[in-house]
Structure 1
Amino acid sequence: MLARVVEANERWERLAAQLREENAALRAENEWLRERDVRREAELERVSAELAVLQRLVFGRSSERVRPSSPAGEDDDGQDDQSGQGDGPGRRQPQKASPRGPGGRAGRRDYSHLPRVEVIWDFAGGGYCCPECSSPFEAFDDHAFEQVDWRVTVRVVVHRRRRYRRRCACAGPRTVTAPGPPKAVGKGRFSNGFIAMLLVERYVAGRSQNSLIAGLARQGAQISSSTLAGTCAAAGALLAPLEEAIVARNRDSWHLHADETSWHVFTPDDGDGPARWWLWVFIGADTTCFVMDPTRAGAVLARHAGIDTTTGQLRPAEDGGPRRLVISSDFYTVYASAGRKTDGLTNLYCWAHIRRYFVRAGDANPTQLAYWTRDWLDRIKALYAAHDELTDAWNASVAPAPGRAAVEAAARLDDAYTAWDTALEAIEVARQAQMKSPGLQQPAKKALATLDREWDGLAAHRDYPMISLDNNASERALRRPVVTRKNAYGSRTDAAARLAATIWTVTATAEQAGLNVLTYLTAYLDACGRNDGKPLTGPDLQRFLPWNASAADLHTWAQPPETG
């Protein structure tokens, strides 16, 4: 009996030990599951925040144009950003060859079906006289040739150059021909106005080449892709000296707005492609410079801004003295790294970018962060208002009127600086207090961390009231290439990519000066035509630099192109 009791007791003890082991294992597994749930909750919160940001980027309106969602959770986002499809690489529309007209030469298309306009070219005053005896020449024939012109409708312009025959016995040529129109591309059939329109439509309007070919075909002009590409390349060679002068002046600017965006090159020289290149933009006081480069590295910024890659310092000014440079940009590390390493270089970071971080934080968790986001946007709005007053006060104090007006301007500037300091201090106090708050949501922590990391470049705007608080200027400048990228997807070759940057540099600088790019390009190409189809140099080139141009030329180039 005792033996059975002992055996049963041992059996129960073994069962208890087994249950204790199973209980410990279950407790450990339960603890692991709790930790996994915590990790998954954090991951879900992060993914939800990123999804909300991406949804706003794709479907939402610009955060600078729409008010944040109301604290009650009302959503005012809409879908107004629709992307269209463009012509992709390698997609060639079949071109139906135009029928050749009677006597048509090989390689030439027949444009006889297009509207025709005749232009008579004659010597000043009509007719031509012998320079020796003043005896008038006798008109006997016309020298006629054709050009394809591009206006609202494509037409063929017949230029008739009057020819005159000598009637006297004096020495000299027996016949003379009146001068004709200046041809920028000597062997081309396109007028300078057509070439200017082609550049404007292709690069300023952002149309793809296939779209241009289809549009011309709809107007009755069957023009091949290679012909348009060759014309753009020839025009780019004529614009090269103009671009070089713009780049040189842009590099000497004391302040630059800078930004960059991706660009695709489908058949790069150093690979099978496609390759991702980068389009940089640098905006000075009166110039806009686009740089196409295979990399997004700091070497591009250093090369353009004049930073010695060996020492990491700004190269001396032309007089040998030290240079100072202010760069307005987003938070890309290349700009921040240059600011930390380079003496005399000051970073001004974009307040519009930091505002977007707070907008996106509110989108990620509208239930808990709606009031928090609204308060932060109100603080940033107050800072913008203070900066606007500071800019106006600073402009008034630069050249104040004598007497009491000067005293009032100085007092207004002091008050503006006080208002700025107050608005900035409100942001600083809220930032420091909230960063210590333990219960703040992760999207809000991320926005505050970014504000803390970039604080020095954001607060540095106090010393430069003449510069805007944001980097919207460079983003607007890149908008046109981005539209072109959406329509054409990029460039086929390295040369085509750099050609696009050249034309954008010239047209954006012209628009910055308030010029009509179509009129300006036509005038420049006319000047190249009068220069025997060669790029301009010397005083002829200086005349077309907007900062050197005369008031009369600027007024003329600001007008729409003449018709008729």
Structure 2
Amino acid sequence: MKRPPNPLPSDPAHLQNLVLELQAQLLVQQRQLQQKDLRIQILEEYVRLEKLRRYGPKSEKVAGQGELFNEVETLAEVDLPEPTALERAEAPAHPSARRTSTPRPGRKPLPAELPRVRILHELSEGQQVCPCGCQLKVIGEEVSEQLDIVPAQVRVLQHVRQKYACRACEQGVLTAPLPPQPIPKSQASPGLLAHLMVAKYLDAQPLHRQEKALARSQVHLPRQTQATWMIRASQLFQPLLNLMRDTLLSGPYLHCDETRLQVLKEPDKPAESQSYMWVQVGGLPDRRVILYDYRDTRSGRVPVELLADYQGYLMVDGYEGYGAVGRQDGVQLLACWAHARRKFVEAGKAQPKASKTTRRADQVIQQIARLYKIEREAQEFSPEARYQFRQERSLPILADLRAWLDENRAQVLPSGKLGEAIAYLDKYWPRLVRYCEDGRLPIDNNPAENAIRPFVIGRKNWLFSASQQGAHASAAIYSLIETVRANGLEPYHYLRHVLKALPRVQSVEDYERLLPWSLTADTLIESRLADEGGVG
């Protein structure tokens, strides 16, 4: 028999309490549903981002980006020049004519500094006679060029030391001294060391691959021997690195970043634990410096140690480990607009297409793009002119962004991707706009990220450092190679020249003459040709 439902209480007060209780339960359930909906929304964002990371394009460009704040001002920013009367008169009327009038890009000529091998082609003796019976004469020549590569040549340098003696008194034998070598009593020449360094630290070829490559030339050179040579040769670079750090800290601003590194043999740490390679980029306009430093931690004490005597601006990402440096007297932190933009790109990608959140993210991305357009236009300006240009063009855009931020901050869920992007923009706003204070200051931390990229590519190949000595050696060699590249020199020619000269250095002035900005490409080429010409 079906039980009858519970009758409602007849007492009005009791009935009112029951209604209030049910309303409270309904409110709790509604809040739980809202929290679940929010949780589902956040998880959907992460799923979309993960799909894009795994299967989508890696570029941060966003298709179908939203409108800017003021469309009329946006169109005015393009600044398209009006065609002159002569250009209008000469403009072709038909699209096909326009295409034919545009010169097609030609093949780039081969570098003039490369050696040339002349291969002469002549007519046969029979073809050199004209049908009229006269002998043909050479009136000119037609030259075409092909690029040829000779595989690496492995050779042995024999240091022959003449012995001298007096036939009269026979009191002793004098032997010609051996010039100082980068690694005494080893088989490693400056050229070989330079080759191994460039192959590993620039071309990302691990030592075991180089061991196999040399074996094809019947040369047995174990990777353990190569690793020992890298450590010992890198120790020669320390005086140069000290002078480079002095130049680095003398600049008006620095870029800093860090990336992980696995070192197998570290005291009191398991082999699978993470250490870090710290990179600093700076110096002067004509003396660019890129330095790497290995540390077994990501603690904030590391940048304090590396930049203990620094005074100036410091460009970093959002890692709070740099906060202690920013609290030092004379140091002001800058924040990276590329990092801020990246968070809004992720927020847009995490949302369904044409959603309100996507449109909001695109609005910020477009405004940041306008800031970068101004930087491209002012790239060749003097620092004073760039400062004035930013005051006139960048500050109004930043004011619009600040107004947008204040308006939307309370309207967006803080736990979503767009909320995280807005919170990042708001938190680091003073650091983000500080670049407008000085025309020398950069807008982002891309130079540091670009400096880290060669290390990351190499790490994908050689995977780890076996010891702390090896990690320090890698930091030293990466520092020298990347600084050499930043100053427009060819790394192999520089390393070969420096490794030959360093064992003979006797003063600070000698070291200064070996710094990358103290040498020219022509000097290095002449040094290499002299070495090759002097070998019999």
TM more than 0.5: yes
Matches within 5 A, 1:21-420: 33-64=29-60, 66-68=61-63, 152-153=151-152, 155-159=154-158, 161=160, 163=162, 169=168, 177=176, 183-285=181-283, 286-306=288-308, 324-339=311-326, 341-367=327-353, 368=355, 369-390=357-378, 392-395=380-383, 397=384, 414=388, 416-420=390-394
**What's the offset of the Cα at 1:471?**
0.4
Q: Name the counterpart of 2:84.
A: none
| Greater Cα shift, 23-32 or 35-44 | 23-32
SS in 1 for 2:185: coil
Q: Name the counterpart of 1:545.
A: 515
**What's the offset of the Cα at 1:561?**
5.2
**What's the offset of the Cα at 1:15?**
6.3
Of residues 517, 520, 524 in structure 2, which corresponds to 1:557? 524
Amino acid at match of 1:351: W
CA distance in 2, matches of 1:252, 1:280: 19
CA distance in 1, matches of 2:459, 2:232: 22
Q: Label 1:289 to 1:376 Cα distance change in 2 as closer, same or farther (>3 A).
A: same
Q: Name the counterpart of 1:78.
A: none
Matches within 5 A, 1:403-482: 414=388, 416-437=390-411, 442-482=416-456
Identity %: 24
What does the per-residue CA deviation read over 1:520-551, in whole Å, with 9 as the maximum and x for residues that have no partner? 1111111135x3xxx7653322211234x25x
Q: Label 1:414 to 1:491 Cα distance change in 2 as closer, same or farther (>3 A).
A: closer
Q: 1:52·1:360 contact (CA, 8 Å) conserved in 2?
A: no
Q: 1:209·1:225 contact (CA, 8 Å) conserved in 2?
A: yes
CA distance in 2, matches of 1:152, 1:536: 37
Q: 1:329·1:350 contact (CA, 8 Å) conserved in 2?
A: yes
| Greater Cα shift, 211-220 or 282-291 | 211-220
Q: Label 1:187 to 1:168 Cα distance change in 2 as closer, same or farther (>3 A).
A: closer
**What's the offset of the Cα at 1:245?**
2.3
Aligned length: 436
Amino acid at match of 1:328: M
CA distance in 2, matches of 1:268, 1:440: 41
CA distance in 1, matches of 2:214, 2:5: 96
Q: 1:282·1:474 contact (CA, 8 Å) conserved in 2?
A: yes
Q: Name the counterpart of 1:8.
A: none
SS in 1 for 2:465: coil
**What's the offset of the Cα at 1:450?**
1.0
CA distance in 2, matches of 1:69, 1:222: 58
Q: 1:391·1:465 contact (CA, 8 Å) conserved in 2?
A: no
Q: 2:405·2:422 contact (CA, 8 Å) conserved in 1?
A: yes
Amino acid at match of 1:372: R
**What's the offset of the Cα at 1:383?**
1.3
Q: Name the counterpart of 1:148.
A: none
Instruction: Give 5+ residue unaligned stretches, structure 1.
Output: 1-10, 72-150, 307-314, 316-322, 398-408
What does the per-residue CA deviation read over 1:93-112, in whole Å, with 9 as the maximum and x for residues that have no partner? xxxxxxxxxxxxxxxxxxxx
SS in 2 for 1:331: coil
Q: 1:265·1:276 contact (CA, 8 Å) conserved in 2?
A: yes
CA distance in 1, matches of 2:447, 2:194: 25
SS in 1 for 2:274: strand
What does the per-residue CA deviation read over 1:69-127, in whole Å, with 9 as the maximum and x for residues that have no partner? 567xxxxxxxxxxxxxxxxxxxxxxxxxxxxxxxxxxxxxxxxxxxxxxxxxxxxxxxx
CA distance in 1, matches of 2:389, 2:237: 49
What does the per-residue CA deviation read over 1:371-423, in whole Å, with 9 as the maximum and x for residues that have no partner? 3333222211111223344554444x5xxxxxxxxxxx7xx964552112212
**What's the offset of the Cα at 1:12?**
6.1
Q: Label 1:446 to 1:14 Cα distance change in 2 as closer, same or farther (>3 A).
A: closer
Q: 2:249·2:311 contact (CA, 8 Å) conserved in 1?
A: no
**What's the offset of the Cα at 1:459?**
0.7
So what's the TM-score if we normalise by structure 1?
0.68
Q: Label 1:455 to 1:28 Cα distance change in 2 as closer, same or farther (>3 A).
A: closer
CA distance in 2, matches of 1:191, 1:415: 53
Q: Name the counterpart of 1:510.
A: 484
**What's the offset of the Cα at 1:29?**
7.0
Q: 2:387·2:436 contact (CA, 8 Å) conserved in 1?
A: no
**What's the offset of the Cα at 1:233?**
1.7
Amino acid at match of 1:325: G
CA distance in 1, matches of 2:525, 2:166: 47
**What's the offset of the Cα at 1:326?**
0.5
Q: How big is the alpha-carbon RMSD for the aligned residues of Structure 1 and Structure 2? A: 3.5
**What's the offset of the Cα at 1:60?**
4.2
CA distance in 2, matches of 1:212, 1:480: 18
CA distance in 2, matches of 1:277, 1:440: 32
Amino acid at match of 2:427: R
Q: 2:45·2:351 contact (CA, 8 Å) conserved in 1?
A: yes
SS in 2 for 1:282: strand
CA distance in 2, matches of 1:258, 1:226: 33
